[in-house]
Amino acid sequence: MPPRRVIGIDAGGTKLLGGVVDEGLVVHHRVRRTWRGADRAETLDIFVEAVDEVRAAAPDVDAVGFGIPALVEWETGVSRWSTHLPLADVRFRDVMSERLGLPVVVDNDANVALLAEARHGAVRDCSHAVLLALGTGIGSGLLLDGRIYRGSRGMGAEIGHMVVDLHGPDCQGACPGRGCLEVMASGSTIGREGELAARRSPSSALGRRLAAGREISGGIVTELAHDGDEAARSVLAEVGRRLGYGLVGVVNVFNPEAIVIGGGAIAAGELLLAPARAVVAERALPAARETVRIVPAHFGDESGMLGAALLAFDSLAAGAAA
Ligand SMILES: [Zn+2]
């Protein structure tokens, strides 16, 4: 019998990555979409179109797993609220299952990314780990005593919306907070701080890129930093330090064995992680900081897609047992 296949869809604040995944975690077809400015109906249509596209290439799939950037009520599969997408009070699991004609399972995007890293990736030997995915926002997941911790209704573990600056800027999207870690240290922040640095240093590579009319994104800052541009490197160092202050709280509260940093911004690698580690080494409570590892995601920005697929396999196994 050929190995079972499922579709894993990882949705972030501005883009979606999906694929057909087999039981060996081999990805057979990938699909990418963006949805800047899409309303609720358009957003749901994009999910359906993405699944249809990969399904056309591999029709023999058994289920679909979704990781979405939302507060997902775990038991019901209802998306209660989202900072970045118009997905408040959407019966996501049921709507998608009806439209796709397949079993569907849905969880928060960072929870599924952590599932992949905990079973097969950077923290596969850990029972206590925390994942932060730095992209448009900051998604996060908690592995406590070997289980994904979701809070009382499945909507917890939002470390990105932990306040790190009382007088900081308004948070992103629909978040009512200000000075949240997400607005201080996400991939979007790297782009925003990069643009400010470009204006301060017009002769830097970053400044010349802005003068040439290019939008300064987190990806551009990271690329120029890897090329050695000091202005770009200083942006990553500053954002890395801010991330570090968020991680101080994580280390002190959860005493994890490891913290995994994923999402698109992890392309910056040590340029972001080394300053974060330095802050933790200086500011976190000594006994806990000495044992925590701060590491990049093993699966890079594909953790979420693979974790969504793992969740789909889990749901099939549970159904077979019932
Ligand atoms: Zn917030």
| Residue 319 alpha carbon to ligand 1 centre in Å | 37
Whether 229 shows a pLDDT value over 80: the answer reads: yes
DSSP 155: -
H-assigned helices in the chain = 40-57, 92-100, 109-120, 181-185, 187-200, 205-211, 218-226, 230-254, 270-283, 286-289, 303-321
158 DSSP assignment: -
Above 70 in pLDDT, residue 1?
A: no
| Ligand 1 midpoint to CA 222 (Å) | 24
Residue 322 scores a pLDDT above 90: no
Contact 309, 65 (CB under 8 A): yes
**pLDDT tens column, 146-163:** 999 999 988 889 999 999
Question: 317: which 2 tokens?
Answer: 């196994």
Q: How far is the CA of 171 from the centre of ligand 1 (A)?
A: 5
d(CA 194, CA 190): 6
Read off the pTM.
0.93
End-to-end CA distance of the chain: 22
Quote the ligand 1 centre to 255 CA distance (angstroms).
23
Contact 138, 181 (CB under 8 A): yes
Q: How confident is the model at residue 38 (pLDDT cuts 50, 70, 90)?
A: confident
pLDDT tens digit string along 195-224?
Answer: 999 999 999 999 999 999 999 999 999 999
Once rounded to an integer, what is the mean pLDDT over residues 283-293?
A: 96
User: What's the gap in Å between 151 CA and the centre of ligand 1?
Assistant: 18
Overall average pLDDT of the 78-88 stretch: 94
Q: Is residue 179 scored above 90 in pLDDT? A: yes
Is residue 271's pLDDT more than 80?
Answer: yes
Question: What is the pLDDT of the chain when averaged over all its residues?
Answer: 95
Question: Which residues lie across from 149 on neighbouring strands?
Answer: 142
**Predicted local confidence at residue 58, as pLDDT:** 86
Of the chain, the percentage scoring pLDDT greater than 90 comes to 91
